[in-house]
Structure 1
Amino acid sequence: MPNPAPVELLLITMAQRDVGRACLVQPMPYAWDNRYLLNAIARYPERFVGIGLVDGTAADAPDQLGALMAHPGMRGVRFNVFDGDYPWF
């Protein structure tokens, strides 16, 4: 697991550098658990939008994608392509 990177620390850094908004990208160490990302976006909707991570090899990948993108503030999704075998995509 990576070192903790609380969203509050990012907000402080953004303020120090006069950055008003940012796009948060789901890191791979958290795999497909987008809860922290979604929570940060919900807590600070005026500051953050998000790019989530979906397991493209899962049988329910299309449903995961739809559910993730239904959240306000989500702007995109990324896939980790290892073998490119996503028959649904």
Structure 2
Amino acid sequence: MRKDLRVAWLNASARTAEKIQNRHGLYEGEVRDAVVCREGLEYVWNHDPDRGWRAMVRTRIRSMTVLVVLYPTSDPDDVYNLGSAYPI
């Protein structure tokens, strides 16, 4: 895993926020707090045939290890879209 991903801003749709809360018991705000402006995020790039490149970020939320899926945007300033987040 690499450790140099920078996330300056995280976009999250209402649908994604609802999904991660209902399916995985995670709140959008705590996911945002775990990845935005954090140094040393552990991640790997992964290519999904349907959705393209995404960063798979491993972080901690509460006492859980969580995988956060981030999709890059066209904004060059380290802005990502939240794809999912779930405990691993």
Higher RCO (C-alpha 8 Å, min separation 6): 2
**Structure with the larger helix share:** 1
TM-score of the superposition, structure 2-length normalised?
0.26
Using structure 1 for the length normalisation, give the TM-score: 0.26
